Structure 1
């Protein structure tokens, strides 16, 4: 059953994503979190215990843009969380020394894929 056919799919999977992000951050040396979607970012910040080092790039204005702080992350690494099967935007990739696709993280409930997220690790922020 596709995600759009699962009525509560928008409510599911955030805890699992948060746990995955938290585990990856521990292994990768606590990088900051960057996303292009404020909804994904909100859920990751809450369930992944990553707040306040979460930032939004592009998209609609939100608290993640207003709070600022990304300038202080210059020279640091990022864990980038995007929607399902999303390619890393070139404007993000070119602002890091190196970016690596980590995995497509899938949320599955009762053998149904509810949603998935593309996870990237980018090293040495030059500036955004």
Structure 2
């Protein structure tokens, strides 16, 4: 299946956001990628773009070595899904995360996520990634 030019642009937007916002936890770069009317569905996060910027600043201060290691990304129309591994510090088993982003007007307009702890030594020898 081939992607449309718009799907390619949507996927690039989200992957660029990971590179320029999430990995460096750079709140100053948020406005390049996130809509002013950003809708956040994570019940543990405050809504809106300004809240996201404040969250990134807090995380950067608490865990400056955190990484968001993208394992795979998918695009379907105006939605982009990213499966990645968050590690807060070296040696942290971290979380397996799936984010779903809706793109509107060339910006990320809406976000959902699902997270689970990465478990080492459980009954299933197959990696979460």
State whether TM-score is above 0.5.
no
- Structure with more of its chain in helix, by fraction: 1
- Structure with more of its chain in strand, by fraction: 2
The structure with more radius of gyration: 2
